[in-house]
Amino acid sequence: MTAITETRLEHTTDQDIVLSSANAVARPMLMAAMKEHVVAWLDQTARFAAGVALAMAALMLAQWPTLPFLAAFSGVGGLLYVANMADVERYRDSVLFLVPTLFIWVVLSLGAAQPVLVGLTLFTHVFLAFIGTFARVTGTLRQLRLWTLLLGFSLTLLAYLVLTFL
């Protein structure tokens, strides 16, 4: 042993040994947690980008559709939330899906030809997808991990509506 290691060993307490061993254990755990966080962030970003790309492809294939198409698409999106309720485990989650769906259908029945009302229904889709992405809601969309994709899709349709019709 050299004088440096002997000096360190002489002045080391039991608490210093515990802290150094805790740091040795904590570092790999922190790196694993950081890796999982980065992978989850990249996964969510990729799903959002896929939703945006899917919406852009749908808009191009429909040859940049008019307002009735967006209104119909918003109404059909409500059916997706009703279908999602088949696997809901909590009453709170079923209310979360049923109330916005009814709101979308009522607003569209009142004025599907008005851009502001169609924009309101598309914003409802964006809001519901945001809640579904970041809250712990149950249902098929959560199991399939499609909320982030729907967020990108709905946000793109809303941006298209605002840029084109408002």
Average model confidence (pLDDT) for the chain? 85
Taking the CB of residue 120, how many other CB atoms lie within 10 A of it?
A: 17
> What tokens appear for 116 in the block?
């502001």
- In which band, very low, low, confident or very high, does the pLDDT at 4 lie, cut at 50, 70 and 90? very low
Domain spans of the chain, in order of start: 51-165
Average pLDDT over residues 23-49: 82
Q: Give pTM, 2 decimals.
A: 0.79
Selected residue with higher pLDDT from 4 and 110: 110
Average pLDDT over residues 23-42: 77
The confidence score (pLDDT) of residue 14 equals 52
Residues 6+ apart with CB under 8 A from 68: 112, 113
The confidence score (pLDDT) of residue 28 equals 75
Using CA atoms, how far apart are residues 56 and 129, in angstroms rounded to an integer?
18
Least confident of 21-30, 61-70, 140-149: 21-30
Q: Is 109 exposed, middle or buried (0-12, 13-18, 19+ CB in 10 A)?
A: exposed
What is the full DSSP assignment across 38-89?
HHHHHHHHHHHHHHHHHHHHHHHHTTS--HHHHHHHHHHHHHHHHHHGGG--
